[in-house]
A and B are shown apart, each in its own frame.
Chain A
Amino acid sequence: MTLLLLVAVPLVFGILCLSLPTSPLRMAALVGGAWAHLAVTVRSWPAAETPGPGDLFGLDPLGHLILTFISILFAATAIYFVGYHRKRLVSQRVFLACVHGLLAALSLLCISQHLGLLWIALESASLAATPLIYFRLGPRALEATWKFLLMNSVGVALALLGIFCVAIATTKHDGVIVLTITDLARYATHLDPVWLRVGFLLGLVGFGTKMGLAPLHSWKPDAYGESPPPVAALMAGGMTLGAFTGILRLFQICAAAGLSTFAGSWLIVFGLFSIATAAVFVVGNNDYRRLLAYTSVEHMGVLVVGVGLGTAGSYASMLHAMHNMLNKGALFFMAGFIWRMYETNDIRQVRGTLIRSPLAGILMLAALCATCGLPPFGMFFSELGIVLAAAQNNRWWVLALFVLTLAIVFVGVMTAMLPMVFGDPPEGITAGTLESPSHRWRRVTMLGAATALLALGLGLGAYQPTVVRDALVRAADSLYHPGFEAVAFATDTEVRP
């Protein structure tokens, strides 16, 4: 019942958005849909039971965790969008319906235990996201849309090929193995290792394209730069996590088949390369939204590096996924606010946010610190966790490269974006409509949503309730011990230090 609701609620509200006559009603439907979804998600904790071998749908620790992240992000974005939206050429009905479609597709992705269904959900998510990028109309948005659509379609086609290869690996076994995670994990030792390896690599490339791992990230700056900031927030914090789930599912099977070293080293290679690529392109970039897109490439790299470094690294990676969601949400919310104030993407023309709007300046500063992994924000702890995991495994080269490239990104982002916050506002600029007293409610909703996410990031960085920690630990454990062993973990309440 919960599973059905998770997909049905956004779909119903999406149809509602299509049919309601006036804009305020549709906005209400957007907020209602996102918060109803959040309510269903929160009520589903703790998961009643782990999915059985034949179940196509179910809430396993990993999917449940990612689902919750995505739901929180959508709830915050819905509030933000109420303040952000303006009359635009593109149909508001279609836009809002697509937002709900994206939420439904991502929920389906998180609860699907069958690799084929997971693929269908991911492809649906990218199709639902395509109209969202074309929000601003015009040639540049069109180029971004085309790049996104074509690269992602090819990416998911490769991922499908990878899934087929995993399916071919199952034909070695005499009985029929269903392509569910639990069943595959149970018979993992009977799988053909060659085809499983091929399948994992193709899946990594395919899902990696969707996640934005270098060298297949080139759609990302365009898509995040051209789509409206709330959509960029949904993609950077939500959709990428969906694709990450796809990679993790394949990793679970590899780990169960005893190929975790092989799979882990490829994850580390791709991850480090992504962080390095981000480091190269962050320096000297003059468009702040594209720059933020490169920090997203960086954080995707951090996520996969963590998983490659064993259970301790996986825990840090799950923690990072949570803070990435909170932080990318807040960051793009603030980018949208600044864009509304200055009406430009050029870093050199944005100066003195702190003077024009002290609250926005402080929030932007906080979001930047959080992105760069400064304490007390949570990303500091997750990145520290990955460094420690690398040291534990004696992967000194990984550690060195990781720290060095992160430092370059830190310097690049800070030198580019600190002047946006400090400094004097450009002369002769008139206050935008956003700053007029009649638009106070817009400022409240936009900054409120960003504040909420930042406060959560700060709070969860400083203090982690047992519930959260437990959920993260269980998800991280399920990566290396997937499937039926998870049943044992469900009853086990011991929390690791």
Chain B
Amino acid sequence: MNAQTVTDCVLVLVILLNLGMLAVSRLASGVRLFAMQSLLLAFLPLSADVLEGESPGVHALVIAVGTIAIKGIVIPHILLRIIRTGEVHREVEPFIGFTASVFVGALLVIGSFGVATRLPLPTSPISTLIVPVALSTLLLGLLTLVSRLKAITQVLGFLVLENGVFILGLLLLKQTPLLVEMGILLDLFVGVFIMAIVVYQIRREFDHMDTHLLISRKES
């Protein structure tokens, strides 16, 4: 099995994990699936180097380690901790039901494969699946974001969306300086940290995490 096949397999798994996240109702399972997805993605920068017959460079190694540490371990840990300390463990009555959202998700995946054929890459990428998988991950993240009610699931949706951007970023390892990549990871981490604090406050203030009950103004 060469690096090409491995990359393709990983990308297919990423899509399956996305659909899995849409299907589960337990919040903790969703977070674990996200952690698995991030761990899988962390190895992709390395495979890009291996594919070209080189040993993994420092750049790719730093990104892989950073991704594993922040997206694979620290962020899921924070989210799981919030879920454990709260009473609510399940997503109840989402705007779009679980089965229906998997169906919509599958349609979005098909759509993004369709769009990707109309966006030819200027150079041949490490895997032709990268653009469609990035697009579908992005769209499924957005779907989670708009169709679920719990603040914590919305954070999860945002993280999946960010993973989609990360996949597209794989095409650009050579272009972006390490400084920028680390800055992006750091911003993501601080962002999720602040979100976690706000989620915690929401729960204290309202005794639940339902954002649609945040009532008040509907005019806009």
Interface on A for B, CB 8 Å cutoff? 56, 114, 116-117, 119-120, 123-124, 127, 130-131, 134, 138-140, 142-143, 145-146, 149-150, 153-154, 157, 160-161, 164-165, 167-172, 176-179, 192, 194-195, 198, 217-218, 221-222, 281, 285
Report yes or no: B172 in contact with A168, Cβ–Cβ below 8 A. Answer: yes
Given A117-B183, A139-B206, 5 other A-B residues pairs in contact with their CB atoms under 8 A: A143-B214, A143-B216, A153-B158, A154-B161, A168-B172
Interface on B for A, CB 8 Å cutoff? 119-123, 138, 142, 145, 151, 154, 158, 161-162, 164-165, 168-169, 171-172, 174-177, 179-180, 183-184, 187, 190-191, 194-195, 198, 201-202, 205-206, 211, 214-217, 219-220
Residue of B nearest to A114 (CB): B180
Cβ contacts A to B, 24 pairs, < 8 Å: A116-B183, A119-B184, A139-B206, A143-B214, A149-B194, A150-B154, A153-B191, A153-B195, A154-B158, A157-B165, A161-B168, A164-B165, A164-B169, A164-B171, A167-B175, A169-B122, A171-B175, A172-B123, A176-B175, A178-B175, A179-B175, A192-B122, A222-B217, A281-B220
Chain A CB within 10 A, most for which of B171, B172, B215, B220: B220
B25, chain A: closest CB distance, angstroms: 21
Report yes or no: B219 in contact with A281, Cβ–Cβ below 8 A. Answer: yes
A134 to B202, CA, bound (A): 12
Report yes or no: B191 in contact with A123, Cβ–Cβ below 8 A. Answer: yes
A165 to B134, CA, bound (A): 12
Q: A127-B194, A218-B220 are in contact. Are A171 and B183 (CB under 8 A)?
A: no
Chain B CB within 10 A, most for which of A56, A138, A149: A149
Report yes or no: A120 in contact with B119, Cβ–Cβ below 8 A. Answer: no
Residue of A nearest to B172 (CB): A167
**Top-3 shortest CB links A-B:** A116-B180, A172-B122, A120-B183
Residues on the A chain within 8 Å of B187, using CB: 120, 123-124, 127
Report yes or no: B165 in contact with A116, Cβ–Cβ below 8 A. Answer: no
A165 to B168, CA, bound (A): 8
Report yes or no: B217 in contact with A168, Cβ–Cβ below 8 A. Answer: no
A194 to B117, CA, bound (A): 13
A420, chain B: closest CB distance, angstroms: 20
- Of A114, A123, A168, A176, which one neighbours B171 at CB under 8 angstroms? A168
Residues on the A chain within 8 Å of B216, using CB: 140, 143
A198 to B115, CA, bound (A): 12
Report yes or no: A168 in contact with B161, Cβ–Cβ below 8 A. Answer: no
A284 to B153, CA, bound (A): 36
A10 to B197, CA, bound (A): 25
Report yes or no: A164 in contact with B184, Cβ–Cβ below 8 A. Answer: no
